[in-house]
Amino acid sequence: MAEMKTAAYICSGCGLGDQLDIAQLSKIAQKEGKMALVRNHEFLCNPEGVQIIRDDIEKEAVTHICIAACSRRAKTEAFNFPEVAMSRANLREGVIWIIAQGNEHDEVRQEMANDYVRMGCAEIKKMKLPQGNPNHANNKRILVVGGGVTGLTAALAAAETGYEVVLVEKNNQLGGWAAKMWKRVPFKQPYAEPQETGLVELVAKVSSHSRITVYLNSTVAETSGAPGRFNIKVAQESGSVTTEEVGAIVQASGFSSYDINKLPELGGGKSTNVVDQAGLEALACKAMDTPLKRADGKEIKSVVFIQCAGQRNEANPDHLPYCSGHCCATSVKQAMYFKNANPDVNTVVLYTDLRMPGMGEDFYRSAQDKGVIFTKGKASRVDTAGDACKVVFRDLILDEDAVIDAELVVLATGQVPNAGVDLEAWNPLVTAAESGSEEGKQKKVEMQKISVLNLNYRQGPDVPQLKHGFNDSHFICFPYETRRTGIYAAGSVRRPMDMLQATEDATGAALKAIQAVENASIGRAAHPRSGDLSFPSVRLEGCTQCKRCTVECPFGAIDEDEKRFPVFNESRCRRCGTCMGACPVRVISFENYSVDTVGNQIKAVDMPDEFSERPRILILACENDAYPALDMAGLQHHVYSAFVRAIPVRCLGSVNTIWITDALNSGFDGVMMMGCKHGENYQCHFVKGSELANYRMSKIDDTLKQLGLETERVATYEVAITDNARVAKLINEYAAKINEIGMSPMKGFN
């Protein structure tokens, strides 16, 4: 790369020129910021202003630019110069919009703007233009694990879009659970009758597709590599192992039905007259459209469906705590099997809350119209002694105990995800095995048998589980995106669902996989920093093999070599910078985001002395939620203290404690860290970043005491993107507190 040539562009539009002394800002950029070129424009984001910058890049060979105008989140299309490194000084949302109007505030306003220009210039000098991940690979094939409805749909969707697909199914035929169903819950108008599954056609399409390779009777014996270059060992039942290269993986390993034998009180496993929903499908498949018969051949004249059997039960740890979502509609469908073959059959659905998502309400009405009796009640016991079962339950509407006679009882048991190894249980075994415990080694081997992907990652053989054993990283915000880049969970392994939802899931995950292989092939990051060309690099000479980066990386991107040095798999990385925040010796950095780019900004702030009555508060704000909230506070003209200086960070997880000590040492009176909600129902875009930051900061009190400072001088906050009014309030409260504690005694030493 050619020599660095810097330039600063100061905009005077949007009222900046009216409220700020632009000449003074230019002088600061030139003298203190040491920018080679400084230009002003009254409307920098219009074509004329943009052209000035473009001309400088072309004719003056400018390589690093600092734009002092609006927030880095605004006008991103106008200020799009991918060929140079760029920093943005936020004078609009960050200064003039958050300080009250009037001449009496001129001084603090100008001071704040001056500092942001200083910071922008300081940052750009430490930045490099990201070059893209050099270790990228461009295999664009997609592996689909599981040949059920989800897997088949994902495979077909990816193949039809033009990508080659490898489908691995452990059974000897495709179709999964759906192949064992007689009909499915309706997904088309008028949502009144069970519909054909359409599975035969789907299987035929997949089997004959030229871009899909199907492995039956096969499992994934090992997965290594990274997006764009996964190496898969497919083990067949015969014992032969085939190696496949793929770029991304869709995990559609589905669910197992909750074991009916765990429900003896409801007759589970005690009699063939008590079946689960899968058992009833088998009877229906046998009967076709004729009246259903029991296992003993007797035609069924009365049937009771018991909903939520072994589900939604927090009290009993052996049962499932969650709702499996599909069972109500499935029972309604199965009751219709009976009513459609013989309207005189007595069908009772015993529910506590009938949950019919989607267009299920129409389907429910249709079943009522057919005479299916719905009873709100809770079954406590099923007696299977006689020819007919006796269902003992509490009628919750009539508020009394009651008994129903039924020749067949169907238990609506839930879905248990086939999610592989639970890493929470796995890691202690690894530690035990590493310390030489034979038992630990054995248990580890035993546990790995249920693994779906057999990843050879440092952080374990499967993708992490979110809740109740489901493979997801966030049910609402980031569906399909597991915490392993390039591996996407879809269908009922991700969360409990029905066939229609599984179909939608499959296409969604297929699109994510396509996005991943395309980004990986050109060395760019996948979501959520989609398109980011920067990547973490490590100066191994300085590394002390402490393993904090390899352990803390939320995405398992970093492995270890034999000497326990970190091995970065850039393609697996999401660019959150958690490793950079973790590193105690600060050897990890990104080209455009490093300990220095932020550290330099902190040091660039002009620090008034102890007696000036003008404290300085540093805000480190997560760029995903907190920084937008600050911008929005500006947009809505919420006034907040002019003594703060905000720096956006990729994630609070990337905050290295050196920044805090640097800030306090250079005389900042307080540090506010703003990140996303962590813990249960977290909102962190990098899953663990804010949690880790919070953990690290809980240990900073000792450091503060060593420095002789009050512990209140560092504070962490959870800020959501909608918290624009609150964020201004938080700042003002914190500024008042700093005022109370008094100015930092650390000023004036640097």
Print the binding letters for residues 677-706 with another protein: x by CB under 8 A, - otherwise.
------------------------------
Print the binding letters for residues 405-444 with another protein: x by CB under 8 A, - otherwise.
x---------------------------------------
The count of other CB atoms within 10 Å of the CB of residue 180 is 13
CB of 104 to another protein, least distance (A): 60
CB of 403 to another protein, least distance (A): 7
- Does position 344 interact with another protein (CB under 8 A)? The reply is yes
Query: Of the two residues 382 and 490, which places its CB atom closer to another protein in the complex?
Result: 382
Query: Of the two residues 376 and 586, which places its CB atom closer to another protein in the complex?
Result: 376
Print the binding letters for residues 140-159 with another protein: x by CB under 8 A, - otherwise.
--------------------
Instruction: Considering only the stretches 135-143, 172-180, 374-382, 729-737, report the one whose residues sit in contact with another protein under the rule CB under 8 A.
Output: 374-382
**441 HSE (CA, 13 A, CB side):** 5
Handedness of CA 205, 209, 215, 221 (dihedral sign): negative
Instruction: Considering only the stretches 193-201, 211-219, 370-378, 413-421, report the one whose residues sit in contact with another protein under the rule CB under 8 A.
Output: 370-378
The count of other CB atoms within 10 Å of the CB of residue 168 is 27
Instruction: Give the start-end residues of each E strand in 292-340.
Output: 302-306
Q: Check residue 294 and report its DSSP letter.
A: -
- By rule CB under 8 A, what count of residues binds another protein? 21
| DSSP assignments along 643-712, one per residue | TEEEEEES-GGG--HHHHHHHHHTT-SEEEEEE---STT---TTTTHHHHHHHHHTTHHHHHHHTT--GG
Instruction: Considering only the stretches 40-48, 373-381, 606-614, 727-735, report the one whose residues sit in contact with another protein under the rule CB under 8 A.
Output: 373-381
Query: Of the two residues 192 and 373, which places its CB atom closer to another protein in the complex?
Result: 373
Considering only residues 368, 380, 544, 636, which one is a binding residue for another protein as defined by CB under 8 A? Answer: 368
Query: Of the two residues 258 and 374, which places its CB atom closer to another protein in the complex?
Result: 374
**224 HSE (CA, 13 A, CB side):** 6
Compute the C-alpha angle 83/85/88, nearest 5°. Answer: 125
Instruction: Considering only the stretches 325-333, 367-375, 514-522, 637-645, report the one whose residues sit in contact with another protein under the rule CB under 8 A.
Output: 367-375
Query: Of the two residues 78 and 354, which places its CB atom closer to another protein in the complex?
Result: 354
Amino acid (1-letter code) at residue 142: I
Considering only residues 209, 233, 312, 376, which one is a binding residue for another protein as defined by CB under 8 A? Answer: 376
Query: Of the two residues 372 and 693, which places its CB atom closer to another protein in the complex?
Result: 372
**What is the rounded CA–CA span in Å between residue 442 and residue 457?**
19
Query: Of the two residues 299 and 560, which places its CB atom closer to another protein in the complex?
Result: 299
CB of 287 to another protein, least distance (A): 20
CA gyration radius for the chain? 31
CB of 409 to another protein, least distance (A): 13
Whether 715 contacts 634, CB under 8 Å: no
Rule CB under 8 A: which of 508-567 touch another protein?
none
Query: Of the two residues 388 and 704, which places its CB atom closer to another protein in the complex?
Result: 388
CB of 370 to another protein, least distance (A): 9
Considering only residues 100, 241, 403, 736, which one is a binding residue for another protein as defined by CB under 8 A? Answer: 403
- Does position 450 interact with another protein (CB under 8 A)? The reply is no
- Does position 365 interact with another protein (CB under 8 A)? The reply is yes
| Number of residues in the chain | 750
CB of 346 to another protein, least distance (A): 4
| DSSP assignments along 248-287, one per residue | EEEE---EEEPPGGG-GGGTTTT-TTEEEHHHHHHHHHHH
**What is the rounded CA–CA span in Å between residue 271 and residue 349?**
20
Helix, coil or strand: residue 151: helix
Dihedrals φ, ψ of 140, to 5°?
-110, 15
Q: Which residues pair with 709 in a beta bridge?
A: none
Query: Of the two residues 371 and 584, which places its CB atom closer to another protein in the complex?
Result: 371
**What is the rounded CA–CA span in Å between residue 54 and residue 593?**
24
Tell me the CA distances in angstroms from 617 to 33, 81, 608, 744, one per residue in order: 21, 32, 12, 10
Query: Of the two residues 226 and 303, which places its CB atom closer to another protein in the complex?
Result: 303
**What is the rounded CA–CA span in Å between residue 709 and residue 728?**
25
Considering only residues 163, 215, 305, 374, which one is a binding residue for another protein as defined by CB under 8 A? Answer: 374
Considering only residues 242, 375, 437, 665, which one is a binding residue for another protein as defined by CB under 8 A? Answer: 375
CB of 386 to another protein, least distance (A): 15
Query: Of the two residues 177 and 363, which places its CB atom closer to another protein in the complex?
Result: 363
CB of 299 to another protein, least distance (A): 16
**What is the rounded CA–CA span in Å between residue 74 and residue 634?**
12
CB of 312 to another protein, least distance (A): 19
Instruction: Considering only the stretches 26-34, 128-136, 365-373, 583-591, report the one whose residues sit in contact with another protein under the rule CB under 8 A.
Output: 365-373
CB of 163 to another protein, least distance (A): 46
**What is the rounded CA–CA span in Å between residue 653 and residue 694?**
8
CB of 361 to another protein, least distance (A): 9
Q: Residue 121 corresponds to which tokens in the numbers above?
A: 């210039």
Look up tokens 């498949």; give the residue: 285
Query: Of the two residues 408 and 697, which places its CB atom closer to another protein in the complex?
Result: 408
Whether 218 contacts 235, CB under 8 Å: yes
Q: Which residues pair with 559 in a beta bridge?
A: 567
Q: Residue 682 corresponds to which tokens in the numbers above?
A: 């977290």
Query: Of the two residues 198 and 371, which places its CB atom closer to another protein in the complex?
Result: 371
Considering only residues 264, 371, 386, 742, which one is a binding residue for another protein as defined by CB under 8 A? Answer: 371
CB of 260 to another protein, least distance (A): 23
Query: Of the two residues 343 and 542, which places its CB atom closer to another protein in the complex?
Result: 343
CB of 411 to another protein, least distance (A): 17
SS (H, E, C) 282-305: HHHHHHCCCCCECCCCCECCEEEE
319: left (phi over 0), alpha (psi -120 to 50) or beta: beta
Rule CB under 8 A: which of 282-311 touch another protein?
302
Instruction: Considering only the stretches 280-288, 361-369, 412-420, 582-590, report the one whose residues sit in contact with another protein under the rule CB under 8 A.
Output: 361-369
Q: Which residues pair with 470 in a beta bridge?
A: 467
Q: Check residue 3 and report its DSSP letter.
A: P
- Does position 369 interact with another protein (CB under 8 A)? The reply is yes
Query: Of the two residues 405 and 504, which places its CB atom closer to another protein in the complex?
Result: 405
Query: Of the two residues 397 and 476, which places its CB atom closer to another protein in the complex?
Result: 397
Q: Residue 202 corresponds to which tokens in the numbers above?
A: 């789907």
Query: Of the two residues 296 and 400, which places its CB atom closer to another protein in the complex?
Result: 400
| DSSP assignments along 203-233, one per residue | HHHHHH-TTEEEE-SEEEEEEES-TT-EEEE
Considering only residues 346, 415, 459, 690, which one is a binding residue for another protein as defined by CB under 8 A? Answer: 346
Dihedrals φ, ψ of 236, to 5°?
-95, 160
Q: Which residues pair with 166 in a beta bridge?
A: 143, 213
Rule CB under 8 A: which of 383-402 touch another protein?
395, 397-398, 402
- Does position 636 interact with another protein (CB under 8 A)? The reply is no
Nearest partner of 659 among 599, 712, 701, judged by Cα: 599
Say how far residue 614 (Cα) sits from the centre of its chain. 41
Query: Of the two residues 202 and 409, which places its CB atom closer to another protein in the complex?
Result: 409
CB of 307 to another protein, least distance (A): 14
The count of other CB atoms within 10 Å of the CB of residue 565 is 15
Q: Residue 371 corresponds to which tokens in the numbers above?
A: 């005479």
Tell me the CA distances in angstroms from 70 to 32, 292, 730, one per residue in order: 21, 71, 23
Amino acid (1-letter code) at residue 107: E
Residues that bind another protein in the complex, under the rule CB under 8 A: 302, 344, 346, 348, 354, 364-365, 368-369, 371, 373-376, 395, 397-398, 402-405
